[in-house]
Amino acid sequence: MPTSLDAVVEFEEKYQVPTYKKFPLAVERGEDVWVYTSDGERYLDLYGGHAVVSTGHCHPRIVAAIKNQAEKMIFYSNLVYSQVRAEASEKLVGIAPKEFAKTFFVNSGTEANENAVKLARMRTGRQSIVGFEGGFHGRTLGSLAVTGIKKYQDLLEPKIGYHYFAEFGNIDSVLKLPASEIAGIILEPIQSMGGVNLAPPEFYKELREYCDRTGALLIYDEVQTGFGRTGEYFFAGRYDVTPDIITTAKGIASGVPMGAVLVQEELAKTIKYGDLGTTFGGGMLACAALSATIDVIKDEHLLQNVRGGSQYLFERLRELPFVTEVRGLGYLVGIRFQQDASHYQKGLLDRKIITGMADDKKTLRLLPPLTLKRKEIDLFLQALTEIG
Model confidence at 6: pLDDT above 90: no
Measured CA to CA, the distance from residue 257 to residue 134 in angstroms comes to: 25
pLDDT higher than threshold 70 for residue 112? yes
Question: Which residues, including other chains, have CB under 8 Å from residue 60's CB and lie 6 or more apart?
Answer: none
Distances (CA, A) of 146 to 137, 140, 199, 277, 358: 7, 10, 18, 22, 18
Distance CA 135, CA 178 (A): 21
Buried/exposed 347-369: b ≥16 CB within 10 Å, e otherwise: bbbebbbbbbbbbbebbbbbbbb
Mean of pLDDT values over 97-101:
96
Question: What burial class does residue 101 get, using C-beta atoms within 10 Å of its C-beta: 0-12 exposed, 13-18 middle, 19+ buried?
Answer: middle
Let me know if residue 143 belongs to a domain.
yes
Predicted confidence at residue 355, as pLDDT, reads: 98
pLDDT for 352 = 98
Quote the DSSP letter at residue 359: S
Does some domain include residue 83? yes
Radius of gyration of the chain (CA): 21
CA atoms of 121 and 112, how far apart (whole Å):
15
CA distance 172 to 97: 28
Q: What percent of the chain has pLDDT over 90?
A: 89
Please indicate, yes or no, if residue 37 is contained in any of the structural domains.
no
d(CA 108, CA 104): 12
pLDDT tens readout for residues 207-219: 999 999 999 999 9
Higher pLDDT, 366 or 14: 366
- State the average pLDDT over residues 144-156: 88
Q: Is the bond preceding residue 243 a cis peptide, omega within 30 degrees?
A: no
- Residue 76 CB: number of other CB atoms within 10 A? 13
Find the length of the chain: 388
The answer to whether residue 47 is domain-embedded is no
Q: What are phi and psi of 367, to 5 degrees?
A: -135, 60
CATH of residue 97: 3.40.640.10
- What is the identity of the amino acid at 282? G
CB atoms within 10 A of CB 238: 17
Q: If you average pLDDT over residues 249-260, what whole number do you get?
A: 98
The reply to whether 16 falls in a domain is no
pLDDT above 70 for 1: no
Confidence of residue 9 (pLDDT cuts 50, 70, 90): confident
Provide, rounded to the nearest whole percent, the portion of the chain with pLDDT above 70: 99
Residue partners of 98: CB distance under 8 A and separation at least 6: none
The 10s digit of each residue's pLDDT in 230-248 is 999 999 999 999 999 999 9
Residue 3 is predicted with a pLDDT of 66
Residue 2: which pLDDT band, with cuts at 50, 70 and 90? Answer: low
**Domains in the chain: how many in total?**
1
> What is the predicted pLDDT for the residue at 10?
86
pLDDT at 275 over 70: yes
Quick one: average pLDDT of 71-94? 97
* Structural domain includes residue 159: yes
Express each pLDDT in 14-64 by its tens digit.
898 888 888 999 999 999 999 999 889 999 999 999 999 999 999 999 999
Task: Return all residues near 350 (Cβ < 8 A) that are at least 6 apart.
Answer: none
Whole-number Å distance between alpha carbons of 125 and 208? 19
Burial class (CB in 10 A: 0-12, 13-18, 19+), 279: exposed
Confidence check: pLDDT of 157 > 80: no
Residue 6 counted as domain residue:
no
Q: Identify whether the C-beta of residue 66 lies closer than 8 Å to the C-beta of residue 256.
A: yes
Domain membership of residue 316 (yes or no) is no
Which residue range(s) make up the domain with 200? Answer: 61-299
The span from the CA of 192 to the CA of 134, in Å, is: 9
Mean pLDDT of the chain: 96
- Classified as helix, coil or strand, 94 is helix
User: Cβ(223)–Cβ(249) under 8 Å?
Assistant: yes
User: 333 falls in which pLDDT band (50, 70, 90)?
Assistant: very high
DSSP assignment letter at 168: T
